[in-house]
Amino acid sequence: MDTILVVNSGSSSLKFQVFGIAKPTTLKRLVKGQLDGIGTQPRLRVKGSDDAVLIDQTHAPEAVGDVSAAIGVAAAWLKETQNLAPIAVGHRVVHGGPDYGRPVLVDDQVLANLARLTSLAPLHQPHNLAPIGTLLARFPKIPQVACFDTAFHRGHDPIVDHYAIPERFYAQGVRRYGFHGLSYEYVAERLREVAPGAAKGRVIIAHLGSGASMCAVLEGRSIDSTLGFTALDGLPMGTRPGQLDPGVVLHLLSEEGMTVAEVQNLLYRECGLKGLSGSSNDVRWLETSNDPRAALALNHFVYRVGLHAGMMAAALSGVDAFVFTAGIGENSVKLRARITERLAWLGAMLDPAANAVHGQEISSRESRIGLYVIPTDEELMIARHTLDVLLKRAR
């Protein structure tokens, strides 16, 4: 069976999945793995299609010192133990900039173009691109497809994507892009199966995790998003502040004497839930903490989700459904309940029993809008896009 490898690389971890092509357009997940602790305490963990553990093995730090080495370890294991040699590799790439609005085959020039966007997504872009470069060098004949988190939001009305700054900056690519698009695309498609009626209408999808945003979806298409030029805007996140007066940045530079690099590090790594709580960006820990700063962080998060939901509702001229997804959205019973309270003015009413067991539909019969919990699957979306690119290439 031909297979597609999907790679989602971070600074210290490499997530990967392998999908078998059962029919010309049908995909079957075969393995799901992660190699984390790169450079410190490398650990390879892989599960099969039946969720059984295939390997759980630690490595010496010097043996897996970087992403390139991690790719080598994962690829060798897949080939030697599973006899899997993928015909293509699909990658999650956070930022596609103004030039890439759909999945694209990667060559050296494309890779160089994407590397120029690193300053717009410093937490993600360099780590997304590292395995692409490694595989291009080692296996130049294997097609690699970059799938962008910004692509789902392309096609917005110009008034949505413009900032109120001189037009020349928009022409240079300074515009609102939106992110988490692979997640939104999958959830929007899944909603058509879960609630076909709602999927045809006005939907707010809340991707609530360490990275958090919301998307206004009309008839399955993105029409607005809380994220903008970079992944710093909109909702507060694990370590990022969300919406911030630009004057704060000017103050940090001029009055605090911080360098650009220091400000960048602060905004990407020291703010959000971590900054407010002073201790952690892990919602599970914050929910059990007695520290008033932990409560402040969660209260702020819930308030801002409710506030930005109002913005998305305005973009849609009303709401027919609200969908929770990603780590917090899929797993936090308490925060789903608290956010729903903030949506009461839209007619949202929770079914506590359904919410407690993470039901697929958690709205009560009296609710005027549907409330849903739909686990995201960005990797499957990447595999679908990669297969589509391969099929188009073969025509």
**254-265 pLDDT, tens digit each:** 999 999 999 999
The rounded percent of the chain whose pLDDT value lies above 90 is 80
**DSSP characters for 68-127?**
HHHHHHHHHHHHHHH----SEEEEEES--TTT--S-EE--HHHHHHHHTTGGGSTTTHHH
At residue 294, does pLDDT exceed 70?
Answer: yes
**Alpha-carbon distances, residue 37 vs 40, 135, 244, 287, 358 (angstroms):** 5, 21, 32, 26, 30
Tell me the C-alpha distance between 18 and 28, whole Å.
8
The rounded percent of the chain whose pLDDT value lies above 70 is 99
Q: For residue 361, give the DSSP letter.
A: B
Report the pLDDT value the prediction gives residue 395, as an integer from 0 to 100: 67
At residue 74, does pLDDT exceed 70?
Answer: yes
At residue 243, does pLDDT exceed 90?
Answer: yes
200 sits in the region (left: phi over 0; alpha: psi -120 to 50; else beta) called alpha
Report the pLDDT value the prediction gives residue 37, as an integer from 0 to 100: 85
Mean pLDDT of 367-377: 97
Identity of the residue numbered 334: K
pLDDT tens for 133-156 read 988 988 899 999 999 999 999 989
Report the pLDDT value the prediction gives residue 8, as an integer from 0 to 100: 87
Q: Among the options 149, 224, 233, 320, which is catalytic?
A: 149
At residue 68, does pLDDT exceed 90?
Answer: no
**Alpha-carbon distances, residue 218 vs 40, 202, 323, 343 (angstroms):** 45, 5, 13, 19
Mean pLDDT of 261-279: 96
At residue 375, does pLDDT exceed 70?
Answer: yes
pLDDT tens for 85-117 read 889 999 999 999 999 999 999 999 999 999 999
Mean pLDDT of 52-79: 87
pLDDT tens for 304-353 read 999 999 999 999 999 999 999 999 999 999 999 999 999 999 999 999 99
Between 373 and 69, the more confident residue is 373
Tell me the C-alpha distance between 380 and 110, whole Å.
23
Averaged pLDDT of the chain: 93
Report the pLDDT value the prediction gives residue 265, as an integer from 0 to 100: 95
Confidence band, pLDDT 50/70/90 cuts, at residue 216: very high
Report the pLDDT value the prediction gives residue 91, as an integer from 0 to 100: 96
Tell me the C-alpha distance between 115 and 326, whole Å.
27
Confidence band, pLDDT 50/70/90 cuts, at residue 24: confident
Tell me the C-alpha distance between 78 and 151, whole Å.
30
Is 149 an annotated catalytic residue? yes
Mean pLDDT of 196-225: 96
Mean pLDDT of 75-84: 86
Q: What is the pTM of this model?
A: 0.93
